[in-house]
Amino acid sequence: LLSQAMVAMVVVVWYLVKSMSKPKISSAKENELMASLAQFKSLYKHSPVPYLTIDGKDLIKSHNLAATRLFRTTIDDLKDTDIVNYLTLEDENELSVLLGKIETGYSFTDEEVQLRARDGALLWVSLSMFSGSSKGTRLVSMVDITRKKMIDIAKTEFVSLATHQLRTPVAAIRWNLDLMRKGLEKASDIEKLFGYLDRVERNSIRMTTLIDDFLNVSKLETGTFATSSEMIELSNFFQSVVEEYTGSVEEKKINLKRSEQPSKLSLLADKRLLHIIVSNLLSNAVKYVPESGVVVLQYELIDKEVVITVADSGIGIPVDQLDNLFTKFFRARNAERQATEGTGLGLYVVKQSVEKLGGTIAVSSVEGQGTTFEVRLPYISMED
Ligand code: ADP
């Protein structure tokens, strides 16, 4: 009986010890835990934020689908590779500080660093690392901020270009005003004074054009360019644009030819956009033709499309640079060599304007012989 009682006691004690050392989880609780684990796994796998886990030696142990896309690779390609090998920065000091943090296992958030993807593409990411449950493991998140970075860079470029370009005409205005003041003190040579005034006027016009260009770029890019349609009689419209360039056309003895088919054609469009298009193309043609060169300005109505052509016998565009022509700030190498002034914004604004009017633009050019721009706009008349 005693031994039976002893056995029973041992069993009870064993049972008690067992239940104390391993807290009993009810099956409902267990199901709940399993469900939340499944939820976590699914979130990790399908989250739009790229996640990776790394071990104490910085080797990638797992990653989700977004990380696969970010690294531009296939599913198992990253496993056991060193995360440090993908990270880079132009500033070596900054990079070594960051790598130090990674190696010592610190948690940190939102460090901006460049990521070299598997296909060689260089991206910008915002990197965060958090200590994991077991020793040395960390959860890593990387948010792609390449677009934001590119916009920041473009903005900085834009501001520095704008200020640089605006300084030149302002300096010319101030210089000529100074000369005027000195001239007035002596008040002898009135011809010279008018010359200074002319230059002051020319430079303020130049500055207004530049400011308009900058404003148009920013309005077209931010979508705040308010348009309104009106009937534009093309022949008169062309005439008014041509008159803006009479000075340079006469000075360079340019042979400006016009062709208008049919002679009376009215188009329903936004006048400011059409002005940006025609005046920029014409000013380029005038700028890039040599003395006594030819410039042709024409429109034709072809199958419900108004085809506007601006052609010139100027310096042309190197064939390998044609693809970049409509990008912001682009200037071809022969134009830069000639030291003609320019911002590389004109054609960019032209393309944006053409597209806002629902049209297309094409260019053909032979270096040293000439260039032809062809703009096709949908022909909308009052009857439509
Ligand atoms: P820019 O202010 O430099 O003239 P644009 O955006 O108007 O800027 O033009 C971009 C570049 O395209 C110019 O710098 C020049 O290299 C080239 N280009 C534009 N139009 C012509 C043309 N008619 N003839 C030759 N090159 C041209």
pLDDT single digits (tens) 193-215: 898 999 999 889 888 888 888 88
Q: What is the pLDDT of residue 167?
A: 87
* Ligand 1 neighbour 288 (Cβ under 6 A): yes
Higher pLDDT, 176 or 12: 176
Bridge partners (DSSP) of residue 51 are 141
Q: What is the pLDDT of residue 21?
A: 60
- Measure 297 CA to ligand 1 centroid, in angstroms: 17
Q: What is the largest CA-CA distance in the chain?
A: 140
Residue 311 backbone class (left: φ over 0; alpha: ψ -120 to 50; beta: rest): beta
What gap in Å lies between CA 346 and CA 326, rounded to an integer?
9
| Residue 344, CA atoms < 13 Å, CB-side half-sphere | 16
Q: How far is CA 149 from CA 146, 155, 268, in A?
A: 5, 10, 39
Q: How far is CA 297 from CA 114, 157, 240, 261, 300, in A?
A: 48, 34, 13, 12, 11
What gap in Å lies between CA 348 and CA 370, rounded to an integer?
20
Higher pLDDT, 382 or 216: 216
Is the model's pLDDT at 9 over the cut of 60? no
What gap in Å lies between CA 343 and CA 211, rounded to an integer?
12
| Phi and psi torsions of 149, nearest 5° | -60, -45
What gap in Å lies between CA 237 and CA 267, rounded to an integer?
11
Across the range 269-282, mean pLDDT stands at 94
* Ligand 1 neighbour 332 (Cβ under 6 A): yes
- Measure 331 CA to ligand 1 centroid, in angstroms: 6
* Ligand 1 neighbour 278 (Cβ under 6 A): no
Report which ligand 1 atom has the smallest distance to the Cα of 326: 6
Q: Which of 283, 331, 350 to mutate to test the pocket of ligand 1 (most atoms within 8 A of CB)?
A: 331
Residue closest by Cα to atom 16 of ligand 1:
332
* Ligand 1 neighbour 285 (Cβ under 6 A): yes
Is the model's pLDDT at 91 over the cut of 90? yes
Residue closest by Cα to atom 11 of ligand 1:
331
Across the range 231-242, mean pLDDT stands at 95
Higher pLDDT, 297 or 383: 297
Residue closest by Cα to atom 19 of ligand 1:
284
* Ligand 1 neighbour 44 (Cβ under 6 A): no
* Ligand 1 neighbour 213 (Cβ under 6 A): no
pLDDT confidence tier of residue 190, bands split at 50, 70 and 90: confident
Residue closest by Cα to atom 2 of ligand 1:
342
Closest CA to 136 of 110, 108, 106, 111: 106
Torsion of CA 154, 156, 159, 164, to 10 degrees: -100
Q: What is the pLDDT of residue 215?
A: 86
What gap in Å lies between CA 311 and CA 318, rounded to an integer?
16
Is the model's pLDDT at 15 over the cut of 90? no
CA 111 vs. chain centroid, Å, equals 23
Beta-carbon contacts of 335 under 8 Å, excluding residues fewer than 6 positions away, are 288, 315, 342
- Measure 197 CA to ligand 1 centroid, in angstroms: 29
Q: What is the pLDDT of residue 328?
A: 85
Q: What is the pLDDT of residue 384?
A: 60
* Ligand 1 neighbour 310 (Cβ under 6 A): no
- In the chain the first and final C-alpha atoms are separated, in Å, by 110
Closest CA to 287 of 247, 321, 325: 247
Across the range 258-274, mean pLDDT stands at 94
| Phi and psi torsions of 249, nearest 5° | -60, -40
What gap in Å lies between CA 280 and CA 275, rounded to an integer?
8
Is the model's pLDDT at 168 over the cut of 90? no
Selection from 127-136, 180-189, 306-315 with the highest mean pLDDT:
306-315
Q: Which of 22-26, 323-327, 371-375 has the lowest mean pLDDT?
A: 22-26
Is the model's pLDDT at 14 over the cut of 70? no
- Measure 262 CA to ligand 1 centroid, in angstroms: 29
- Answer yes or no: are the C-beta atoms of 249 and 256 closer than 8 Å: yes
Q: In what order do the strands lie in the sheet with 87-88?
A: 60-63, 51-54, 138-144, 122-131, 108-116, 87-88
Residue closest by Cα to atom 4 of ligand 1:
342
| Residue 100, CA atoms < 13 Å, CB-side half-sphere | 6
Bridge partners (DSSP) of residue 123 are 115
* Ligand 1 neighbour 289 (Cβ under 6 A): no
Closest CA to 286 of 317, 253, 240: 253
Report H helices in the chain.
2-21, 27-46, 65-70, 92-104, 146-186, 190-222, 234-244, 246-251, 271-288, 333-337, 346-356
